Amino acid sequence: MKAIVLEAADKPLAYKEVDKPTLKPGEALVKIKAAALNRRDYWITVGKYAGIKYPTILGSDGAGIVAEVGSDGDKHWLDKEVIIDPASEWGDNPDFQSDNFKILGLPVDGTFAEYVKVSVENLHPKPAYLNWEQAAAIPLAGLTTYRALFVKGKAVKGSKVLVTGVGGGTGAFALQLAVAAGCQVFVTSGSGDKLERAKHLGAAAGVNYKAQDWAEQLAQLAGGFDVIIDSALGNGFAKLVDLCNPGGRIVIFGGTAGNIPELNGRKIFWRQIQILGTMMGNPDDFKGMLALINEHQIIPVIDEVFPLSAADAAIRKMENSSQFGKIVLVV
């Protein structure tokens, strides 16, 4: 089969022939129709991710058709259209992942290939109203933002939510999920065009984080926030504490702008603010996310579609953060 293989951090991704996976009992082979990029794919290609191994087939997001199963009891999955939960071996505690936790695309081979091997437990019916590209855009961003918003952030109908950096895949998804749940959502971006696109998706308002007074602008627009979703950290993070309502939650799942700066702890404890870390999600989170998407017929935002063979060009586009929504590969 053809696959995109990362052979070294300083080499372009290779589009090459590799062996098709063989199955064990409880596993399934999915013929991939579309796969989507995530920021982790970029960090892996530049050698800035934990546990990198070579060679590796990247890709955590995928949708396709079940071609083979490893157990007779799973034959009902054959020929079914599915999307794949990229998280496996979460463990018994719903609050945090186990030491054996794995993500598709590293350490196990991922979806940037004609076929991918996964546990049958990670298969879910593809939302029937979505095409392959839209379905492939769901898994990692949908799972991460669903857990951040509703499990960690406890957002409910009427909550005031701030999504920072709305242009990326997780930012756009967080906006869509929060709007669907009846939240009042505000956003930030470094692009005026992206702010306008966010408003078309239901954002109440947005500000450009490149402006010196971006936090003051948000305070004037919204007053304060019950839930703040942030994947950047960096120097601007301290202002998020000021923007949080008493009893509010700041949920973080990335650090593209650097580490958290020095914070005034007195503001945090006096106003009962919580700063919560999250990453991916457990199987129940994935089911809850899919239920919300199906209920509200949410259509993921696709920025651009590339053929599988052009995965290196797709990664380069992600590198400059010019996209709004997800970058997708078709197989």
List, for residues 222-255, the tens digit of each pLDDT value: 999 999 999 989 889 999 999 999 999 999 998 8
pLDDT score of 78 more than 80: yes
- When pLDDT is cut at 50, 70 and 90, the band that residue 174 belongs to is very high
List, for residues 92-140, the tens digit of each pLDDT value: 999 999 999 999 999 999 999 999 999 999 999 999 999 999 999 999 9
> For the domain 142-277, what is the CATH superfamily, name and number?
NAD(P)-binding Rossmann-like Domain (3.40.50.720)
Q: What is the mean pLDDT of the chain?
A: 95
List, for residues 200-216, the tens digit of each pLDDT value: 999 999 999 999 999 99
Q: Domain extents for the chain?
A: 2-138+300-330, 142-277
255 — phi, psi (to 5°)?
-155, 50
CATH of domain 2-138+300-330: 3.90.180.10
Question: Do you know the residue count of the chain?
Answer: 331
pLDDT score of 10 more than 80: no
- When pLDDT is cut at 50, 70 and 90, the band that residue 67 belongs to is very high
Least confident interval from 15-24, 227-236, 254-263: 254-263
* pTM of this structure: 0.95
pLDDT score of 305 more than 90: yes
- When pLDDT is cut at 50, 70 and 90, the band that residue 9 belongs to is confident
pLDDT average, residue stretch 13-19 = 95
List, for residues 176-199, the tens digit of each pLDDT value: 999 999 999 999 999 999 999 999
pLDDT score of 257 more than 90: no
